[in-house]
Structure 1
Amino acid sequence: MSDLKSPKITKSDAQWREELTADQYRILREHGTERPFTGPYWNSTEKGLYRCAACDEPLFISDTKFDAGCGWPSYFEPVKPDAVIELRDTAHGMVRTEIRCATCDGHLGHVFPDGPPPTGLRYCINGHSMVFEPQD
Structure 2
Amino acid sequence: MDPVTEHAPKVVRSDEEWRRLLNPAEYHVLRQAGTERPFTGEYTDTKTVGVYSCRACGAELFRSDAKFESHCGWPSFFTPLAGHAVIERTDTSLGMRRVEVLCARCHSHLGHVFSGEGYDTPTDLRYCINSVSLRLVPSEAE
- Bucket of the pairwise TM-score, normalised by the shorter protein: over 0.9
What amino acid sits opposite 1:44 in the alignment?
Answer: T
Conserved 8 A contact 1:47-1:63: yes
Match of 1:131 among 128, 135, 139: 135
Q: Which residue of 1 aligns with 2:14?
A: 12
Give 1:5 deviation, angstroms.
4.3
Match of 1:80 among 79, 82, 91: 82
Give 1:61 deviation, angstroms.
0.6
Give 1:7 deviation, angstroms.
1.7
4+ residue runs over 4 A deviation: none
Determine if the alignment matches structure 1 residue 63 to structure 2 residue 91: no
Q: How many residues align?
A: 134
* Alignment gaps of 5+ in structure 2: none
Once superposed, what is the RMSD of the aligned Cα atoms?
A: 1.0
What amino acid sits opposite 1:43 in the alignment?
Answer: D
Percent identical pairs in the alignment equals: 49
SS in 2 for 1:49: strand
Conserved 8 A contact 1:76-1:116: no
Normalising by the residue count of structure 1, what TM-score does the alignment of the two structures yield? Answer: 0.95
Give 1:116 deviation, angstroms.
3.1
Work out the CA distance in 2 between the residues paired with 1:74 and 1:45. Answer: 12
Describe the superposition over 1:8-42 as per-residue Cα deviations: whole angstroms up to 9, x where unpaired: 11101111011111111000000000010011200
Conserved 8 A contact 1:116-1:122: no
SS in 2 for 1:123: strand
